[in-house]
Structures are given as structure tokens and as C-alpha cells.
Amino acid sequence: MIIPLDLALLFFLVVIGIAALTVKDLLAAIVLLGAYSFVMATVWVQMHSPDVGFTEAAVGAGASTALMIAALSRLERWSSD
């Protein structure tokens, strides 16, 4: 476990999470959530559980991003609030 790398990854997680909550463009929010999943997969691998990281990369960054974009194709792209 490398402490500076861990701190950097967790800092990235917080920044990406806040950005995904505040951004008005929903497509950008979905892409940010994909980036969040990818950084989270790196954190899992960093914590010596590569199978969980593998699942996170496959499901979080791959499949669920595609599902959310497919759902967005039926909605409005810009958040109203």
C-alpha cells in the first residue's frame, strides 16, 4: 500500500464526485461517473483485490455507462435545476 498514491486517488474520487453532482450537462455527468468507476477500480487494485477492481472496471466503467447513455437518449440532455 503506497500512501501518497492512495491519497491522490481518493482526492481524485472526491473531485470527480463533486463535479458529477454539480455539472449541468447530464452526458458530462455520465462520463464523469465512468471516470469515477475507473479511479475506483484502480483503488480496488491498489488494495490488493484485483477481482473486485476487474468487476468494477467491467460493470461500472463499461456496462452501466452504456446503460445510462441509452437511458439519456430518451431524456433531455441538460439538467433543469
Partner 1 sequence: MSKRTVSKKGEREAGKKEGREGADGEERDVIVDTVARVMIPLSQMFALYVMIGTEGAGGGFQGGVIFAASLILLATVFGVKKGRDVLPEGENAILSSLGLYIYAGVGLLCMVLLWGAAEYLNYGAFPLPVEYALRRGYLVTYAVEVGIGITVATVFASLFFDLAWREDVLGRDEGRRDL
Q: Is 54 in the site for partner 1 (CB under 8 A)?
A: yes
Nearer to partner 1 by Cβ, of 9 and 59: the residue is: 59
Which one of 18, 50, 63, 79 is in contact with partner 1 (CB under 8 A)? 63
Name which of 20 and 59 has its Cβ closer to partner 1.
Answer: 59
Question: How many other β-carbons are positioned within 10 Å of the β-carbon of residue 57?
Answer: 17
Paired residues of 25 in beta bridges: 78
Give the Cα separation of 28 and 35 in Å (integer): 10
Phi-psi region of 8 (alpha: psi -120 to 50; beta: other; left: phi over 0): alpha
Could you list the residues that contact partner 1 (CB under 8 A)?
51, 54-55, 58-59, 62-63, 66-67, 69-71, 73-74
